[in-house]
Amino acid sequence: MRYDLNLLPIFIALMEERSVTRAAERVGKTQPALSNALSRLRLMLQDPLFIRERYGIQPTPIALELAPAIAEALAQLDDAVLGQQGFDPAQAERLFTIAPNGYVEFVLVPAVVARLQQVAPGIKLRLTPYGNDLVETGVVSGTTALVLGRIVDPPDNLVVQHLMEEGLACAVRADHPEIGDAMTREQFEALKHVNIVPPGRMRAGLFQALAQRQLRREVAISVTNFFAVAEMVAVTDYCATLPALICRRLMQDKRLKILPAPVDLGRFPVEMAWHVRYRHDPAHRWLRGLIQDVAAQLGDRSPLPAS
């Protein structure tokens, strides 16, 4: 029996998206064309494969059984074909969708874009929200090329790479009436604080670090991004505990004063993850290398003035 190999990526798209509409968008087909392809898949595999439900489609037991073998076969084909292709960044034209968390978007992405402008002007980036979990970013299905931030409990089809370690420091307004050139534990606990809500995993990391060191923090207001912090701290007597490279940026704001935290709050990892199907894609591999190089340079910089 002869198989139409063009149908197999459609099968995987339907498995991972659980929606005919989203699967059609992912493979670049119209919805009627994808429905026609699904009919041919059902005929080829002699099974309904997907059952329509109120909020999408659900795979049958046969589809669930076939999916790992088909995904692995497609990954091996990608490895064989893409590994033979060359890549010239100076001449390439390609759009990558990436999902950075708020920290990475603020600190790392501008440096990556600046490097791309220099060495690969035809490579463009589209940023998509990090979301509450990895599924929402699109990286688990492969529709998003990369996710950058704190990667927790990744599924088996993601490859995770460590980029750098980041620390924490404090920001208060420059003319704060109670804080001089250093902050004590007692002062930290007496102040009210600005909390950054996203990204969720990093927020959890800060709360855990404070709890482990038994350092109390009274949160007066929670904001949704790092851009709001400087404005909030500059007009109040509040304190914000932030990643050190964020504080490095804020040192340029004369309204603010950056200080070491009163106790060592430890460090947290910054990571990058991608779907296994991109392991040997030359363009994807090149972009990963560029991001790793930029992150290493940022991580080597001292984020705070000497104490």
Out of 136-150, 153-167, 212-226, pick the least confident: 136-150
Which domains does the chain possess?
7-82 (1.10.10.10), 94-165+269-300 (3.40.190.10), 168-266 (3.40.190.10)
Q: Mean pLDDT across the stretch 71-96? A: 76
How many Å is the Cα radius of gyration of the chain?
24
Tell me the backbone φ, ψ of residue 117, rounded to 5 degrees. Answer: -60, -35
Nearest to 290 by CA among 119, 83, 135: 119
Sequence length of the chain is: 307
Q: CB of 122 within 8 A of CB of 91?
A: yes
Least confident span in 69-83, 105-119, 183-197: 69-83
Question: Are the C-beta atoms of residues 239 and 192 closer than 8 Å to each other?
Answer: yes
The DSSP bridge pattern shows strands 218-223 and 192-196 to be: parallel
Stretch 204-222: mean pLDDT: 86
Q: Does residue 250 have a pLDDT over 70? A: yes
Q: Which helix (H) or strand (E) holds 208?
A: helix 200-212
Mean pLDDT, rounded, of the chain: 87
Number of other CB atoms surrounding residue 19 within 10 Å: 16
Find tokens 């490095």 and name the residue: 248
Q: Which residue has the tokens 């998509």?
A: 128
pLDDT at residue 306 in the model? 47
| Cα distance between residue 255 and residue 236, in whole Å | 11
Mean pLDDT of 127-156: 84
Beta bridge pairs of residue 146:
98
Residue 237: per-residue pLDDT: 96
Going by the DSSP 8-state scheme, the letter that residue 263 receives in this structure is S
What is the rounded average pLDDT of the residues 240-268?
92
- 173: confidence class by pLDDT, cuts 50, 70, 90: very high
| Residue 167, φ and ψ in degrees, nearest 5 | -105, -170
Q: How many CB atoms lie within 10 A of CB 34?
A: 21
Supply the pLDDT for residue 82: 58
Largest CA distance in the chain: 81
The answer to whether 233 and 239 have CB atoms below 8 angstroms apart is: yes
Rounded CA gap, 126 and 240, in Å? 30
What is the b/e burial string over 260-291, where b = at least 16 CB atoms within 10 angstroms of the residue's CB?
bbbeebeebebbbbbbbbbbbbbbbbbbbebb
The rounded distance, in Å, linking the Cα atoms of 10 and 201 is: 33
* Span 13-51, pLDDT tens digits: 898 888 898 888 878 889 999 999 999 999 988 999 999
Question: What is the model's pLDDT at position 117?
Answer: 96
131 versus 240: the higher-pLDDT residue is 240
Q: Does an H or E element contain 219, and which?
A: strand 218-223
Give the Cα separation of 9 and 34 in Å (integer): 11
Helix boundaries (H) for 95-133: 102-107, 109-119
- 92-107 per-position pLDDT tens digit: 888 899 999 988 999 9
**Averaging pLDDT over each range in 7-16, 75-84, 134-143, 193-202, which range is the top one?**
7-16
Structure tokens at 65: 């059984």
